[in-house]
Structure 1
């Protein structure tokens, strides 16, 4: 833009020089102005041309990058996925349309499209390493979340929502962000599933979760306030992790206890059952029995 303006100014100066040069009284000054304007015009055109080529080369390079694909084979299935750079990933913002994402990251391959109950998800491979997941609301077709693993750095593991960017290993912050979103309880629960799937804590943390759910049950408040999204989602999260940990040892009392705790927390939060329902009371009786075994 600035170089185009400079060309116009140079053209005007050159024209003024020609007009003055045609007058006998101003021929000398006209020649000087004409020469200056002509040199400025040549310089402006040259710079504008060079700048245009540089921009075009940059755009062409990025376009080539976005159109590159990588093919992988896993369990006999061939997957072709478009590749992107960290710079391209950083250009994606919450609220961007699918059209905007395609312009920045390139067309997503059919192999790289998936979904959950509330979102469409596009998956891209990092040009050098890592993966990126772009999630769109099915209602608005706008980006509501993006996450990457090893794309920005070798060990990066981040998730970005309207509330900001956090490390995916920070499950507590993720639950806090989910609880603040303007969404239904069922939608929040669906988002929580992703946090549960990504959890990679140590055995010591699982043991801490065991103590937590036992204490919450013993206090009698674990399903008392279903309007407290963060508390209820935390209960569901921790009991899910504990239950998964004991999935291959069903005879362990904690396996049965965590399952009942999870079932009641989830069903009451999603208003499938009421706190005083027969099914909830039956699970509480089971927890009471297993708690005695846990404390032996």
Structure 2
């Protein structure tokens, strides 16, 4: 019987050691995971950093940026477009610039010049930039006609410049019809 008691005691002891080991391993694992998860203070600070970055006005001279992009040489229109969109999406325009960009793209459209020279990188990237900035500025504000106009101007400029649409395609004509309706609402 003593032998049975020893075996049971040994089994119980092993069982206790197993549980003790599991508890110690769990505590250690919890400590490691806890160290990897940011604290509430760190989590609360991260969005503030992102907000501060987004609020900082850009001090970029967009015309210089267009010249840099055009001057890079062996790039495709799609690569040029991607580069100018990075500038446009972070650009913080002044009210004066918005008025200028708006009147400029309307004038270019009315004069039927805006997609007449799609091989001219400087001209097309400038048009794309200005229309993107205007569209971003108004960004669907209560179906503002200038927002809709700038969006269609941007679409036609982008797709003809990149070679996706021909200047006389149905898609371009459809957007121009929409642009005419938007301009009529402005008057």
TM range (shorter): 0.5 to 0.7
Normalising by the residue count of structure 1, what TM-score does the alignment of the two structures yield? 0.44
1:286/1:190 CA distance change after superposition, 3 Å: same
Separation in 1 of the partners of 2:88 and 2:43?
24
* Residues 210 and 242 in structure 1, CA contact (< 8 A), matched pair in contact too: yes
Query: Is residue 72 of structure 2 the alignment partner of residue 170 of structure 1?
Result: no
Gapped runs of 5+ residues in structure 1?
1-71, 79-130, 132-154, 158-167
Aligned pair 1:192/2:77, yes or no?
Answer: no
Residue 185 of structure 2: aligned partner:
293
CA distance in 2, matches of 1:201, 1:219: 25
| Residue 228 of structure 1, aligned match among 115, 120, 127 | 120
Find the counterpart in structure 1 of residue 103 from structure 2.
Answer: 211
* Larger relative helix fraction: 2
Equivalent positions of 1:12-91 (< 5 A) are 73=42
1:197, distance to aligned residue in structure 2 (A): 2.4
Q: Secondary structure at 2:141's aligned position in 1?
A: coil
Once the two structures are TM-superposed, the CA of residue 77 in structure 1 deviates from its matched residue by: 5.5
- Are residues 77 and 260 of structure 1, via their aligned partners in 2, closer, same or farther at CA, if it must alter by over 3 Å? same
Decide whether the 8 Å contact of 1:250 with 1:256 is kept in 2.
Answer: no
Q: CA deviation at 1:240?
A: 0.4
Contact persistence 2:89–2:136 (CA under 8 A): no
Higher strand share: 1
**Structure 1 residues 82-123: Cα deviation after superposition (integer angstroms, max 9, x where no partner):** xxxxxxxxxxxxxxxxxxxxxxxxxxxxxxxxxxxxxxxxxx
Matched, 1:258 2:150: yes
1:249 matched to which residue of 2?
141
- Return closer, same or farther for 1:74/1:211 CA change in 2, 3 Å cut-off: farther
Cα RMSD for the two superposed structures: 2.3
Q: Could you tell me which of 167, 171, 181 is aligned with 2:72?
A: 181
* TM-score normalised to structure 2 length: 0.68
